[in-house]
Amino acid sequence: MSRFHPTALIFASFMLMGTLIILWGVLLPDLSTSLGMSSADSGWFFLVMAFGTISGAFLGGKYVQKFDFIRLFAWLAVLIAALLMLLSQVRQFWQLLPVIYLFGLLASVVFTIGHTLIARLHSDNRAKMMGLMDFMFSLGTLCAPFLVVLLYRLEPDWRVPVQVLASLMLLIACYAGYLARQRLQLAGHTDVPKQTLSYRAVLAQPVFIALALAMFGYGAVEWGNGNWFVSYASTGLGYNTEQARLVFAFFTGGMVISRLGFAYLIPLLGAMPLLRLLALLMCAGALTLKLLDSQLGLALGNLLLGLGLGGIYPLLLSTAMDIDSDNGPVLSGLSNIASSLGCQLAGLGTGLWAEQAGILTAFWFIPLLAVWLLGSAWLFSRRAVR
């Protein structure tokens, strides 16, 4: 099998997963109204999904190499489609929790497979191809608010977008099932490795501790803004939900531009100076987002935040895999675990703070987390060049 088909499969699935991951934040106001969720309940919802993501990242990092990647991918896609259809039928808040936990777990394993496949298939051009893969993810997040706005014009029900995306995931599963019948050759690997990999060996290296700290900050900032901005703009600042979703699209649009273009700046600036520049831009965007409350100011803050944040994840992970390519699944798992812990902190922390002080005050959490990411990205950039 040529590299084209598995690459196309991963790119298409990452676009769909990007839409699904950000969908919950986009739908949160209507989800909360339909199921009677408080701000704290919303925080617990994101916390449970993040626990699922951590579980999936741990299991995926250690064990995915024991299976045929494409065949495993096909089964995971079928299960995710089934979970989405089940989730669209829930009527009470507590019913969401086990389903969203399993969704997070399976989605995280899908990400680990995707990162590992692309890194191995394109070892000669790893940073660029991983950037394009994450560009597809960001393209999915960009599509999410527009998809919801479009579908709401046909049927204003949060369940409809979930069901539409479940159908698309089933198509991805069919494509993966077709490809699983053909033998996949990974660059630099004559067969699929069978050994269980170790997180302990990776974490013995200070550079990968710095990676984990940076990924923690990345997950906190990305999903903190992704999960709470629409609620912040609508509930806190008084914009209607459609306006809030369209302004939020500047964030996902900035992510798309950043992930599409960052690889072309590496030859000009160098990987680590570029990482520092992106982190500075990200932090400036987070501060702008909180300090300006006009529609133009929110759009500018979201755009700057997305432009800075978008290239950070693929740049961090591709640099780490260049340092230790044999432990690619573990590095992907470690990145997913750390970013999921950050998502937990931002999701639950913002929800609990909003319960006590209101979302206007609680949204300060995002700029504070941006400062953490700036510092940890700077630390990784220093360790990676030693």
Dihedral of CA atoms 12, 121, 75, 133 in degrees, nearest 10, equals: -30
CATH architecture of 4-384: Up-down Bundle (1.20)
Mean pLDDT estimate for the chain: 85
Domain locations in the chain as residue ranges: 4-384
Residue 205 has pLDDT above 70, yes or no: yes
CB atoms within 10 A of CB 67: 14
Question: How far is Cα 129 from Cα 358, in angstroms, rounded to an integer?
Answer: 42
Residue 60 has pLDDT above 70, yes or no: yes
Per-residue pLDDT of 152-204, as tens digits, reads 888 888 899 999 999 999 999 999 988 888 765 544 444 444 566 667 778 88
Per-residue pLDDT of 7-59, as tens digits, reads 899 999 999 998 998 888 788 888 888 888 887 787 788 778 878 888 888 88
Residue 261 has pLDDT above 70, yes or no: yes
Residue 359 has pLDDT above 60, yes or no: yes
Q: What is the DSSP string of 132-170?
A: HHHHHHHHHHHHHHHHHHHHHHH---THHHHHHHHHHHH
Per-residue pLDDT of 113-153, as tens digits, reads 888 888 778 777 777 787 788 788 878 877 888 898 899 88
Report pTM. Answer: 0.74
For residues 337 and 219, the answer to whether their CB atoms sit within 8 Å is no
Please give the pLDDT value at position 190.
40
CA distances from 114 to 70, 82, 120, 376 (A): 10, 21, 10, 25
129 residue type, one letter: M
Contacts of 194 (CB under 8 A, 6+ apart): 65, 66
Structure tokens at 158: 């949060």
Q: Which of 104-108, 250-254, 323-327 has the lowest mean pLDDT?
A: 323-327
CA distances from 156 to 73, 147, 151, 153 (A): 32, 12, 7, 6
